[in-house]
Copies of this chain bind each other. A is one copy, B any other.
Amino acid sequence: MPQEFRCDCPFTSALDILGDKWMLVIVKQMLLEGKETFKDFTESDEAIATNILSTKLKLLEELGIIVKTQRPNNKKTNLYLLTDKGLALTPILVELATWSDKYLRDIHPTIVNGEGVQLLRHDKSAFAGMMLHKYREKLDKVM
């Protein structure tokens, strides 16, 4: 199924792809929580259903945001890894979390407030840089 776009606006077009409850959550889980196998995703807090996970992973792959690979000696477990196109979503994630941190705590007081959030609040680009660095290191090891 070829991706449909509502119009030629760059803002809206991004939302045609990313504007749902799961796409960016999956990217976040890969980038920040080190998830890489189908099972990893199903075991998370956020508990995405397997049929939806399957659909979204397929879509993310079609779009070139992730790639599907295997480890050399394991035919059973698939690995899903972020491409550059996927890693380029980091600034969006950072801005989403920044907004949450500042404006959502009053209606959702249990939002986490640990080390990561402190760094994010204090130095956004350091946070982004660190996440990207860590992920690229992991890619080196895996591939």
Binding site for B on A (CB under 8 A): 3, 5-22, 24-25, 28, 32, 45-47, 63, 85, 88-89, 91-104, 107-108, 110-112, 117
Contact = CB atoms under 8 A, between A and B. Distances in A.
Main secondary structure of the interface of A (DSSP, over half): helix
Identical chains bound together, number: 2
A98 B104 contact: no
B8 A111 contact: yes
Most buried by B among A10, A18, A22: A10
A49 to B, nearest CB: 13
B110 A99 contact: no
Contacts of A97: 10-11, 14
B85 A89 contact: no
